[in-house]
Amino acid sequence: MKLTRTLRVVNKLGLHARAATRLAQVAHNYDANIQIIHGSQSADANSVLAVLMLETCQGQEVTIICDGDDAEPAMTAISELFSARFDESE
C-alpha cells in the first residue's frame, strides 16, 4: 500500500535536530519506506541527517510518502507527530 499526504511543519524550529531524531524514531517502528519531500529534495525518514538536509522551517509544507505493509499506521503516527509539534513545547 502506498499513501501520500501533505503536512505543514507547525513547530517553531522546523525539522531541526530534535524533531528529525523524533521523526526517525517513529519511522523505525514501521515496516514501510517513508520518504519526506520538500521542494525538489527528498529524504528517507529513517535518516536524521537526510531530514536535516531538507532545511524545513515553520509554516512550510512537506509531502510524506509511506509505502509498505505498515504504510497506514506509519502515516497516522507521523501525522500525529507533526500535529503534536514533535512533542516540543513550542
Q: With beta carbons less than 8 A apart as the criterion, state whether 23 and 49 touch.
A: no
What is d(CA 74, CA 27) in angstroms, rounded to the nearest whole number?
A: 7
Select which of 16, 21, 58, 88 is catalytic: 16
Q: Give the residue among 30, 45, 50, 34 at the shortest CA–CA distance from 86.
A: 45
Q: Verify whether residue 28 is a known catalytic residue.
A: no
The C-alpha angle with vertex 63 and arms to 42 and 41, in degrees rounded to 5, equals: 20
Q: With beta carbons less than 8 A apart as the criterion, state whether 9 and 55 touch.
A: no
**Residues with a known catalytic role:** 16
